[in-house]
A = this chain, B = another copy of it.
Amino acid sequence: MSESIQAGLAQPPIEIARLEAFISRTLVSVGIPTDDATQVAKLMAESDAYGGDAHGIFRLQQYVSQIENGAINARPKIRVINERASTALLDGDKALGHLVMKHAAELAIEKARQTGVGWVGTQHSNHAGPAHLYARMAMQQDMIGLYFCVGNANLLPPWGGTEVLLSTNPIAIAVPGLRHPSIVLDMATTNTALGKIRLKAQRNEPIPEGWMIDRQGQPLTDPKRASEGFLVPVGGPKGYGLALMFGLLAGTLNGAAFGRDVVNYTKDAKTPSNTGQAIVALDIRAFSDVQVFKQKVDDVWEMMKSSPTLPGFDEVRLPGERSGKLYEERIAHGVPLGAELRKVLDELADRLKIQRLN
């Protein structure tokens, strides 16, 4: 019996370098050039390090399936198809989304360095992992990063509607601090993620009110009925509005899929997703001395942290605080992977005739 199916036994965490190496050899084995595979592996492992467990190595099997079925192009030519001094539109040529978005973020940063701000959109891209990764790329260059995208599955009807025409279109904004951690928001436009609802359903626990509504518009709390319900957008019509507007910005404007054109790649590995994304890099130097600004961000951090709390809260948290702590812990000690995921990855390795994750 392989160690991967010892379900219930605690598994030792996997070092980041091992995660990267495994992702890389998997991608190379299905035709991705080594350099590209290395870059994608680094970003996917980084996602796991930040605790985005559903956006890192968890997605590897799906990407492999898309590569094998042609929805992802292993040998893409990513190219700029429309360019101005501060903007660009990239055709991702169905590349792995991480490659397209890394390219987009680097271009946005370069443009921001020249002109103060860079806005780069993508079309014919693919799922690129968690939103914050790309906003952070700008932040690491003393810029503010903003990222929007059209999510890869429609889960949300317009407010008052019953047809799932919208994804939970996430938004990320990253702002650097000086001594305190950076402040990084990465949020979907729904009150909760589908993954959390699936977990409640698996455990047969009631779904908290506010997470889902049924086809009558009533709160859906019975985990057995989860598949009948819809996610609830943040603030009702407001979250619908955010999902719609960021969809127009990241999808429609870029000539990418939006609405009924969105392809759920977890169910369809053959049809190219034509994913659209947008990254904005805003150069802090265009507004302020960088050190002065970062000090002020620290002041905001301290102001929030030192403010009094409601009963039941030990402290006020800043956006990205939890994932930042997790990152440090996982960079030092590795990423815990569940037995079920280990099993999937081992089976994938065996099928592709590569060395298992070790």
Contact = CB atoms under 8 A, between A and B. Distances in A.
Interface in A96-134: 114-119, 121
A296 B251 CA distance: 11
A227 interface: no
Given A161-B308, A244-B185, A309-B161, A115 B144 contact: no
A284 interface: yes
B161 A310 contact: yes
B117 A175 contact: no
Given A235-B187, A287-B87, A307 B241 contact: no
A238 B253 CA distance: 26
A341 interface: no
A84 B115 contact: yes
Interface in A270-319: 282-284, 286-288, 293, 296-297, 299-300, 303-304, 307-313, 315-319
Given A252-B297, A253-B287, A293-B252, A310 B82 contact: no
A268 B284 CA distance: 32
Interface in A123-177: 144, 157-163, 165, 173, 175
A183 interface: yes
B89 A86 contact: no
Interface residues of A, number: 78
A117 B86 contact: yes
A242 interface: yes
A254 B307 contact: no
A267 interface: no
Interface in A225-269: 234-239, 241-242, 244-245, 248-249, 252-255, 258-260
Given A85-B86, A286-B89, A238 B234 contact: yes
A208 to B, nearest CB: 11
B116 A310 contact: no
A158 B86 CA distance: 35
A12 interface: no
A159 B316 contact: yes
A217 interface: yes
A313 B160 contact: yes
17 contacts: A84-B286, A86-B115, A87-B116, A87-B283, A117-B118, A121-B287, A158-B307, A165-B307, A183-B245, A183-B248, A185-B245, A187-B241, A191-B236, A241-B319, A253-B282, A253-B288, A259-B300
